[in-house]
């Protein structure tokens, strides 16, 4: 890498976000992990220190569902660290329920954090990327945004919306040196997945042809490639990484 580039990861302190952080640090990026839940940041900082990259690993607090907060956060990053060259939209939550029992608050919460956040953050970095003639945006969607999932109308809708956003924005900035791609992971071995009730988790595993859950670092390495110069000819793509659970 010719110069130190700055990468921002929303939801960066989670299982997949931490794996992405480590991969981008390996690539020489200066890394900023966004978080919104107090108490989660210390474990991430400790893991970065143990990884030997604490000097290039930074935290940025802010609610991705709040447009104004994200604007202030991005301005602070630009002032303290530098312009954002790479954005990974990784923040996400679940509020699962059959649709006929789903509460409006659960619908709104998932749409706001998983989909509206993509606008809220990207809108504040895209102009700078275009002006500088370089940018990489990777949106972390889900296999359930491709195939749907029982009890996840809110989550599936939000993750599917990310895919449409990716294809549309990619067309708008394709001639400006900015690429926009999406990754749709299947079930990955994170604390969130491992907290699923054992019998439900076993049923999910039985439906994965490869016979295992994904590894967080497998997602991280794919992100690493998509933000590299080697992937400059890839834009508007959705790349599935799900052990064969859903093939398109």
- Tell me the C-alpha distance between 179 and 113, whole Å: 23
Q: How far is CA 25 from CA 6, 41, 218, 223, in A?
A: 10, 17, 15, 12
61 noted as active-site residue:
no
Packing angle between helix 15-26 and helix 41-51, nearest 10 degrees?
A: 30
| 19-to-53, 139, 181 alpha-carbon distances in Å | 13, 15, 18
Catalytic choice (35, 51, 67, 155): 155
Q: Distance (Å, rounded) from C-alpha 128 to C-alpha 81? A: 14
Catalytic residues: 155
């Amino acid at each position: 890498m010719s110069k130190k580039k700055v990468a921002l990861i929303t939801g960066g302190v989670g299982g997949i976000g931490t794996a992405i952080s480590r991969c981008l640090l390996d690539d020489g990026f200066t890394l900023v992990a966004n978080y919104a839940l107090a108490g989660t940041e210390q474990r991430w900082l400790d893991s970065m220190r143990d990884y030997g990259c604490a000097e290039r690993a930074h935290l940025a607090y802010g609610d991705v569902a709040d447009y104004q907060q994200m604007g202030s956060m991005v301005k602070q990053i630009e002032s303290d660290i530098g312009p954002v060259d790479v954005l990974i939209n990784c923040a996400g939550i679940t509020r699962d329920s059959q649709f006929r029992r789903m509460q409006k608050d659960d619908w709104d919460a998932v749409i706001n954090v998983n989909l509206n956040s993509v606008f809220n953050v990207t809108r504040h970095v895209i102009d700078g990327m275009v002006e500088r003639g370089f940018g990489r945006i990777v949106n972390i969607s889900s296999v359930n945004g491709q195939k749907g999932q029982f009890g996840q109308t809110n989550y599936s809708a939000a993750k599917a919306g990310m895919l449409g956003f990716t294809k549309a924005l990619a067309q708008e900035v394709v001639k400006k040196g900015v690429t926009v791609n999406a990754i749709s992971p299947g079930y990955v071995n994170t604390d969130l997945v491992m907290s699923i009730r054992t019998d439900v988790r076993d049923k999910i595993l039985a439906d994965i042809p490869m016979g295992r859950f994904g590894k967080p670092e497998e997602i991280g390495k794919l992100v690493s490639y998509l933000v590299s110069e080697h992937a400059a000819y890839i834009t508007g793509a959705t790349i599935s990484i799900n052990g064969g659970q859903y093939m398109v």
